[in-house]
Amino acid sequence: MAAGGSWISGEMDEYSDLDLILITKEKITGNKEQMLQYAKSFGDLISGFTGEHVDEPRVLICLYDNPLLHVDIKFLTLPELYDRVENPAVLFERNKQLSEIIKLTNAVWPQPDFQWIEDRFWTWVHYACLKIGRGELMEAFDFLSFLRMTVLSP
């Protein structure tokens, strides 16, 4: 078990969610019921659903009660830990398996493909300007969110 996100950056506050990484021997991603069984064993689970909407089916997004807490649980096997975007804080491990992988490999944050962005950017901006010109402001706001979430910082 490891923790990521604001836990490792030291920026947790009363509004933070908890990002956990649960390493299992056998891959359980794709088995939502088994993922939910693990989540239920951690506390008073109100709701849990998988993260396909953010292109991460290995994550179970959970809401717990007592206290009310948002917890993202990423289910990985040991080999899947080699490919990661951050070095999590190890909370529990057997035989230093997680620590060794973290020590021997590098976390790599995906970098934007600037040419991919450039090839599309001005057409997208023109599209947004058309929406503004037609008074379709909510569509223009949606477009700005798309730029921020999908193009500039996925």
Per residue in 138-151, pLDDT (tens digit) is: 999 999 999 998 88
**Rounded to whole angstroms, how far apart are CA atoms 78 and 94?**
12
CA torsion sign, 132 to 134 to 137 to 143?
A: negative
Local structure of residue 111 (DSSP, 8 states): P
Structure token pair of residue 113: 């493909």
Cβ contacts of residue 112 below 8 Å, gap of 6+?
A: 151, 152, 153
* Residue 62 near residue 72, CB atoms below 8 Å: yes
**Rounded to whole angstroms, how far apart are CA atoms 110 and 97?**
25
In the prediction, which pLDDT does 111 show?
85
For residue 154, what pLDDT band results from cuts at 50, 70 and 90?
low
